[in-house]
Amino acid sequence: MTTNTQGHAKNSVLAIWISLLSNIVLTVLKLVVGFLFKSPVLLADGFHNAGDVVASAAALTSMQISKRPADEDHPYGHGKAEVIGSSIVAIILGLASIYIAFEAVMALFEDPATASKIALLTAIVSLVWKYILYVYTMRVGKAENSKGLIATAYDHLADVYASLAAVVGIGLALIGDVFNVPLLAYGDPIAGIIVSILVFRIAMEIGKESIDILMEKSVSDERLATFEKTIRSMPEVKRIDRLRAREHGHYVLVDIRIGVMGNLTIQEGHMISSRLRNLIMAQNEDVDEVLIHLNPWYPEKQSGILTNEE
């Protein structure tokens, strides 16, 4: 593992540890305040945060596994472990959205709880804390191309929405107490229903991306076009027979079949393959492996991109 790669790994692990410890602290804080001041919205948010502890732990475990080098049983590496971790986060977020929606709907048919300024302050602290965590984790996740970290960042964003709902709900209830408007006490469950929809959408987006990667979906056409441009920059390459690439967690695997002059020696073909592989990996830090198959090419059979071997 290079020094640069080690630095990336340390940044990712540090970010996920910060997320895990933050979720533990916020879970305890919300549950304690929720029980002491009998705040249903904080209790619901606290139990939601407890799920985030599990999600962060799953992301941390999968991230550490994904950094392991390839071995005999896993010749393509362990990158998909991180994708499995993000899938777990998606499932937990989906369940959390259903729980939030259920609690919000049930609250509409119950007497509103008495609002507390301490509960409001706790919700505000959670809102600010989670937003900072979202910005930080998303920045590191995109820089390291870490699916687990990006999923964790979206988990923080879902918590931002949940905390915002708590702030709005408790705030409206306090305003209702001051101005004697009992109807405002129901602002919390209405906000909770809206938040549940937003959280569910985030869960669906994370889940869809994870499934796409696990199902070996190709990278975008724009990314393939970039690889094609690099391949065609080598004059020895006479034809592109096949070009495929897929994400394998935090790195990309590229599969290429190209046509070169049919009278080249094995040594010359090997040199072309090595140069092309090094060129692609030098231009794309997230590419971990480039598999190159050479086909013979003769001037009378020159053509464009083919889908099958000659």
> Tens of pLDDT along 76-113?
666 667 677 778 878 888 888 888 788 778 878 877 66
User: Which amino acid makes up residue 30?
Assistant: K
Residue with tokens 């970039």: 226
Q: What does the mean pLDDT of the chain come to?
A: 81
| CATH architecture designation of domain 221-301 | 2-Layer Sandwich (3.30)
Higher pLDDT, 205 or 189: 205
| C-alpha triplet 291, 293, 294: angle, nearest 5° | 145
Measure the CA–CA gap between 114 and 169, rounded to whole angstroms: 11
Per residue in 244-279, pLDDT tens?
Answer: 998 876 678 899 999 999 999 999 999 999 999 999
Number of H helices, E strands in the chain: 8, 3
Measure the CA–CA gap between 204 and 218, rounded to whole angstroms: 20
Secondary structure letter of residue 287 according to DSSP: E
- Least Cα distance to 215 among 117, 305, 84 occurs for 84
What is the reported pTM? 0.66
pLDDT for residue 240 is more than 90? yes
Measure the CA–CA gap between 149 and 12, rounded to whole angstroms: 7
Domain 3-214: which CATH class? mainly alpha
Asked whether the beta carbons of 206 and 153 are under 8 A apart, the reply is: no
For 220-232, the DSSP string reads PHHHHHHHHHHHH
Question: Where along the chain do its domains lie?
Answer: 3-214, 221-301
Spatial neighbors of 307 by CB under 8 A, at least 6 apart, are 241, 242
